[in-house]
Amino acid sequence: MTVKLTPYFNMEGNAREAIEFYKQALGAEVLSIITYGEMPGMPNTFTDDLKNLVAHAKLRVGESELMFSDAPTGSTIPKGKQVTICISTDNVEKSKRFFEALRQNGHVNMPFGEEAFSPGFGDVTDKFGVTFQIYTESENES
């Protein structure tokens, strides 16, 4: 069973600009970019502005990865949420155990459950104020 911890950058509409910056500054390789308009299984109710924003991107820097997404247009990222930690596993039950452990005396930002982009995902801020995104990779993801 795989477990990875990855910094996750939450941007205010400038994720593409940040990705280009890190490509140049760190020699990052773009592994994937998906916009809100391209999200599988999502209703086509997004505004044109939101459709073009980055819903999820993954970059490789050396042996490490960075992840990015844009907040919806006009949203401000709360203090402490600009960079979070994404814990990725390849097992839904393992992901759920991490989520349940971290939520003790913390705050659930998004309940753990199946999403269009993951068979098991949740967002939680622990009792120390650190925010974690718990993400289960699909079987067809690398």
Reduce the secondary structure of 50-116 to three states and give it as a string. Answer: HHCCEEEEEEEECCEEEEEEECCCCCCCCCCCCEEEEEEECCHHHHHHHHHHHCCCCEEEEEEEEEC
**DSSP code for 43:** -
Lowest mean pLDDT among 7-11, 39-43, 124-128: 39-43
Coil, strand, or helix at residue 31? strand
Query: From CA 23, how far away is CA 88, in angstroms rounded?
Result: 23
Domain ranges of the chain: 3-136
pLDDT of 132 > 60? The answer is yes
Percent of the chain with pLDDT over 90: 67
Categorize the per-residue pLDDT at 142 as very low, low, confident or very high, splitting at 50, 70 and 90. Answer: very low
User: What pTM was computed for the model?
Assistant: 0.77
* CATH architecture for residues 3-136: Roll (3.10)
Question: Is the per-residue pLDDT at 141 higher than 60?
Answer: no
